[in-house]
Amino acid sequence: MKIRCLAIDDEPLALQQISSYIDKTPFLEKAELCQSAFDAMDIIENKEIDLIFVDINMPDLNGMDFVKSLTKKPQIIFTTAFSEYAFEGFQVEAIDYLLKPISYNSFLKAVNKTKNLFELTNLKINQPAQNTEIYVKSDYKVVRVLLDDIVYIESANEYIKIYLSEKECITTLMRLKIIEKQLPEKKFMRIHRSFIINLEKITAIDRNRIYLGEKIKIPVGELYNETFQKFISSKINSL
């Protein structure tokens, strides 16, 4: 698997250097080069981008504000000539911070961090559905989640929230349909365009509402109602 990269820098020579480093690195794939953060926004929304190299000091919209504005956030490596931004860079969970002039050795160390994280995340998330656990990236960590602990999963735009209880949840950058494929069908069911539930956590059903415990109520969407009713009927008939 190659990591698809977007590079953003208002300086043509700096942009060309990053471009040449990407081409030189076997596991990287150059998706786009931009001299403006505004141009990059459309690309990120419409293309699959795994990693962004972004200069901090740019006119109109600087790289730090650009990253903070993203709702769909790939991995980030900052590039800049000024060292004072390093702490702020790590606050927004950047993989690394490269100080110009950038050597290929420094570049390679940074992208190897990204590669290791991608390999770990993909290895764990793509485990067969019969497994008893999944691994998801949350903040700057890869978190182990036991399937038995999941109560329900909620879609939140580009993110999902995995609820382990009424108040405890893990947020990760992933589509609901992606995690749905990783879950065993006998244990989990999508009952709404925004919700997947753990069928073993159901405590009651009231019309088109499902109770998970005493306080959690999840609606059954019209498109998913027939499948859910068949499941309930099979349970009633087996009594």
**Mean pLDDT per 10-residue segment, the chain (239 residues):** 92 95 95 91 87 89 85 86 57 78 94 84 53 84 91 91 89 89 91 95 91 90 90 74
**8 A C-beta contact, residue 173 and residue 151:** no
**8 A C-beta contact, residue 13 and residue 39:** no
The reported pLDDT for the residue numbered 130 is: 56
The reported pLDDT for the residue numbered 198 is: 96
**8 A C-beta contact, residue 6 and residue 31:** yes
**8 A C-beta contact, residue 96 and residue 77:** yes
The reported pLDDT for the residue numbered 73 is: 78
Taking the C-alpha atoms of residue 95 and residue 78, their distance in angstroms, rounded to an integer, is 8
Taking the C-alpha atoms of residue 122 and residue 131, their distance in angstroms, rounded to an integer, is 15
Taking the C-alpha atoms of residue 97 and residue 147, their distance in angstroms, rounded to an integer, is 36
Question: Which structural domains are found in the chain, ordered by start?
Answer: 3-124 (3.40.50.2300), 129-237 (2.40.50.1020)
Task: Please name which of 20, 91, 115, 11 lies closest in space to residue 54, comparing C-alpha atoms.
Answer: 11
**Whole-number CA gyration radius for the chain:** 22
Taking the C-alpha atoms of residue 130 and residue 127, their distance in angstroms, rounded to an integer, is 8
Which helix (H) or strand (E) segment holds residue 35: the answer is none
Taking the C-alpha atoms of residue 234 and residue 128, their distance in angstroms, rounded to an integer, is 26
The reported pLDDT for the residue numbered 84 is: 61
Q: What's the half-sphere exposure (Cβ side, CA atoms, 13 Å) at 239?
A: 4
The reported pLDDT for the residue numbered 92 is: 61
Positive or negative, the CA dihedral 176, 179, 181, 186 is negative
The reported pLDDT for the residue numbered 54 is: 93
The reported pLDDT for the residue numbered 87 is: 46
Task: Please name which of 83, 81, 78, 36 lies closest in space to residue 61, comparing C-alpha atoms.
Answer: 36
The reported pLDDT for the residue numbered 86 is: 47
